[in-house]
Each structure stands twice: as C-alpha cells, then as structure tokens.
C-alpha cells in the first residue's frame, strides 16, 4: 500500500488501440490477484462498449442504478419574445423553432449556459433529469470479487463523468484497503482520462504492430501527464517478434516496466465465445501460462508498490494543452 492512501489502489489497464485484448487481460488479472489475496474490485470503465462482465460470464446484475447527467436548458415560453438570440448563440445547435416557439432539444443540449447569457428576457432555465446511463453492480461475481460497470445511454455525452462514478462506486464497495482494477476504454478520450485520473499504476497493452505502437505512445503521453508510473504487456507477441523487441527497447528508454508478452493463442477466442476467462477455460494453454506469469509480476508490484512507483514515476510531467472551442 501507499503511505497516506485513503481510497484504495487504482490499477488501470489501458491501450491506445481497441481490440488488443485489454478486457481479456483485465479479467485474468482480476482473478489472479483476487486469488492471491488482494481485496479486489473490478471496474469496467468502457461506458460506451462495456464487456468485462461478458468476459467474466456475468449477465445478471444485483443492482442497476440510473446515472443522471448534468443539466439541460428549457425555455419558458411566456417570457420568450422570439428574438432568436439563443438559437444563434447555441454552439451545439440544440435550439430550434417548432410551431413558432423556441424549444431546446434536451438530448443535444450540453448545458453550457451560452443561451441564458444572451437571452434578453431571462426566459431560459436549467434542469437535471436526464438518465444518461447506468451503474451496474455485481456484488460477488462467480470468481469471488465485485464488479462495477458503467453503461452510457446511446447518444448521451459525458461518458467520462460516468466513468468517474464507476470508479467512485468501486472504491466505496471495496473500501480503503482494496485494489480497484479498472478496464479502461480504448483510445485517449474523456473516458480514458477519467480512468487515469488518480490512478497509481497503469498497465498498457499493445500488439507488435506499428498502429498499436503509435497508439501506445499516445496513451503513454497521457500517463506522463498524470504522473502515473506505467507498465507494459505485449499481446499476440509471436505475430511479429522483431517488433516486440523494438517496443521493448522503447519501454526501457522511457522507464516503462515491461511485464511480459502473451503469444497469439486461438484458445483465447474460444474462451471469449464461451464467456469464460481463458485462464479458467484453458488454464494450460500458452496464453494462460503467460497471463499467470504476468499476474505474478503485478502481484509483486502491488506488494512493493511504493518502491515500484518511485522507480517508474515519470521524470518529467507531460504538459496537457486542451483545445478550447468557444462559441463564435
């Protein structure tokens, strides 16, 4: 554990690119760590395409809680003088004229307040009642640990906020002495940023291809921005052994802890089809043996976390330059 830690250790499994086996690896690591005595909670932080429960074979939830999104604008028609200023100002085209009345489409509205600033009659108000997604909880999966999963309603924005809710729920269920293993979304978008914020260790997953390596470097930049030490797993390694060596040398140069590689193994696909983690379905297949080895390494990192973090903390924080889009 880390001195002064109050909310559990957060381990994020992330990849810049989708389809590299992140959820398979997350499920296996969760099982291995739980069996090694770590008080584990699994969190599926891919709110747009949650599937960790499917890899773990869980489809029935103990609790499904609605997640309410921020705010949306609505117009009090009696106060509206039909000046059209709000429609012109809305940066998201959420306002239209229907039967001569100005109305807000609350599914598009981002609650940015711009319209209320320009309205001369103060006719615009704000409300919060949109169910933007759900928090789904299994208090004890068949592998013995809880699972929290976020699911955003199709078309709703702010999935990053839902991911934060997922993490908070997982930490609350696990308590301060828990280890929350977070299966992040692919890419470097807001869901991934929410997954990384406050994390203690990031396990990056890549394949030995130029596309995956390029995305790996992008996710690594984010880990540096947040000052999180990072480790690396290379999946389907035997598809391109030379490129594995290339990525490994990049990892050494960049203070990324290389945990090992997993060979391509068709048994992984069979296990996914059966909704069982490969280490359970085919415990003696090459991929499972590699996963056990990597799980052992993660367990020893967690047992000496403070020391490991000191060794792999990024030397320089990567600046983050946000793009601010202002209404014209």
119 makes contact with ligand SF4 (CB under 6 A): yes
158 makes contact with ligand SF4 (CB under 6 A): no
Of 102 and 179, nearer to ligand SF4 (C-beta) is 102
Given 90, 205, 259, 298, the residue binding ligand SF4 (CB under 6 A): 90
130 makes contact with ligand SF4 (CB under 6 A): no
Of 80 and 299, nearer to ligand SF4 (C-beta) is 80
80 makes contact with ligand SF4 (CB under 6 A): yes
Q: How far is CA 7 from CA 189, 196, 211, 265, in A?
A: 24, 15, 36, 37
User: Which range binds ligand SF4 by CB under 6 A, 46-54, 112-120, 231-239, 272-280?
Assistant: 112-120
User: Which range binds ligand SF4 by CB under 6 A, 3-11, 25-33, 81-89, 244-252?
Assistant: 81-89
299 makes contact with ligand SF4 (CB under 6 A): no
Given 61, 92, 246, 292, the residue binding ligand SF4 (CB under 6 A): 92
Closest CA to 296 of 268, 267, 259, 249: 259
203 makes contact with ligand SF4 (CB under 6 A): no
Judge residue 291's burial from the number of C-beta atoms within 10 Å of its C-beta, 0-12 exposed, 13-18 middle, 19 or more buried: buried
**Nearest distance, CB of residue 132 and ligand SF4, angstroms:** 15
Of 123 and 272, nearer to ligand SF4 (C-beta) is 123
109 makes contact with ligand SF4 (CB under 6 A): yes
DSSP 242: H
Report how far residue 194's alpha carbon sits from residue 164's, in angstroms, rounded to the nearest whole number. 6
State the alpha helices, DSSP H only, in 254-304: 266-273, 278-281, 286-303
DSSP 278-292: HHHHSTTSHHHHHHH
**Nearest distance, CB of residue 131 and ligand SF4, angstroms:** 18
DSSP 154-218: TT---HHHHHHHHHHHHHHHH-TT-EEEEEEEESSSHHHHHHHTT-SEEEEEE-SSHHHHHHHHH
Q: Name the helix (H) or strand (E) containing 29.
A: helix 22-35
132 makes contact with ligand SF4 (CB under 6 A): no
**Nearest distance, CB of residue 134 and ligand SF4, angstroms:** 23
111 makes contact with ligand SF4 (CB under 6 A): yes
115 makes contact with ligand SF4 (CB under 6 A): yes
Are the beta carbons of 251 and 264 closer than 8 angstroms?
no
User: Which stretches of the chain bind ligand SF4, using CB under 6 A?
Assistant: 73, 75, 80-86, 90, 92, 94-95, 102, 104, 109-115, 118-121, 123-124
């Amino acid at each position: 554990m880390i001195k002064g830690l109050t909310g559990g250790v957060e381990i994020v499994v992330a990849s810049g690119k989708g389809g590299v086996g992140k959820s398979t690896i997350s499920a296996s690591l969760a099982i291995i760590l739980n069996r090694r005595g770590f008080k584990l909670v699994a969190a599926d932080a891919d709110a747009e395409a949650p599937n960790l429960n499917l890899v773990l074979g869980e489809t029935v939830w103990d609790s499904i809680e609605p997640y309410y999104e921020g705010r949306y604008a609505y117009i009090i028609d009696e106060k509206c003088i039909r000046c059209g200023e709000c429609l012109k100002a809305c940066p998201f085209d959420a306002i239209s004229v229907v039967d001569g009345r100005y109305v807000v489409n609350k599914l598009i509205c981002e609650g940015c307040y711009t319209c209320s600033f320009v309205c001369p009659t103060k006719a615009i108000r704000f409300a919060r009642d949109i169910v933007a997604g759900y928090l789904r909880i299994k208090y004890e999966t068949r592998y013995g640990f809880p699972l929290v999963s976020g699911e955003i309603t199709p078309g709703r924005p702010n999935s990053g906020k839902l991911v934060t809710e997922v993490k908070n729920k997982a930490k609350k269920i696990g308590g301060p002495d828990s280890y929350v293993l977070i299966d992040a979304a692919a890419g470097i978008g807001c869901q991934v940023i929410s997954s990384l914020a406050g994390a203690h260790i990031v396990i990056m997953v890549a394949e030995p291809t130029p596309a995956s390596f390029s995305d790996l470097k992008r996710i690594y930049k984010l880990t540096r921005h947040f000052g999180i030490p990072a480790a690396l797993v290379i999946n389907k390694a035997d598809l391109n052994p030379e490129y594995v060596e290339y990525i490994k040398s990049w990892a050494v140069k960049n203070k990324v802890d290389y945990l090992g590689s997993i060979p391509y193994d068709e048994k992984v696909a069979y296990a996914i089809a059966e909704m069982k983690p490969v280490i359970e379905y085919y415990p003696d297949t090459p991929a499972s043996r590699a996963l056990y080895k990597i799980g052992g390494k993660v367990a020893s990192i967690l047992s000496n976390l403070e020391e490991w973090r000191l060794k792999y903390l990024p030397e320089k924080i990567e600046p983050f330059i946000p793009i601010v889009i202002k209404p014209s």
